[in-house]
Amino acid sequence: MNILIELFTSPSCPHCPRAKAMAENVVRQLPGTLLIERDVTKPDNQRVAAEYGIRGVPTMVINRKHMITGVPASEQELISAIRRTG
């Protein structure tokens, strides 16, 4: 399974560390999954966020097509979203 999770974060976001920890745990559980964290305060990442239409953080984009805004309720919810998208 080749899965790409792009996690859009901001250093000032109080929820982003929890989303990042959850995404990192899920990546360890699902072989072939890659996590890229994109800090939206950096110009290159602002451009990518604008292309996706992201308006808030944390936001996860799975395989460039499925978007989850906010922190998923559980790792299992994130895994389910990944499997639906994969």
Half-sphere exposure of 55 (CA within 13 A, CB side): 1
Q: In residues, how long is the chain?
A: 86
pLDDT of residue 64 exceeding 90 = yes
Helices 16-29, 75-85: inter-axial angle, 10-degree rounding: 60
79 CB-contact burial (10 Å; exposed 0-12 / middle 13-18 / buried 19+): middle
pLDDT in tens, 4-41: 999 999 999 999 999 999 999 999 999 999 999 999 99
Domain 3-85 of CATH type 1.10.8.50? no
Q: Which H helix or E strand runs over 5?
A: strand 3-9
User: Considering the entire predicted model, what is its pTM?
Assistant: 0.93
Considering the chain, what percentage of its residues have pLDDT values greater than 70? 98
The span from the CA of 37 to the CA of 8, in Å, is 6
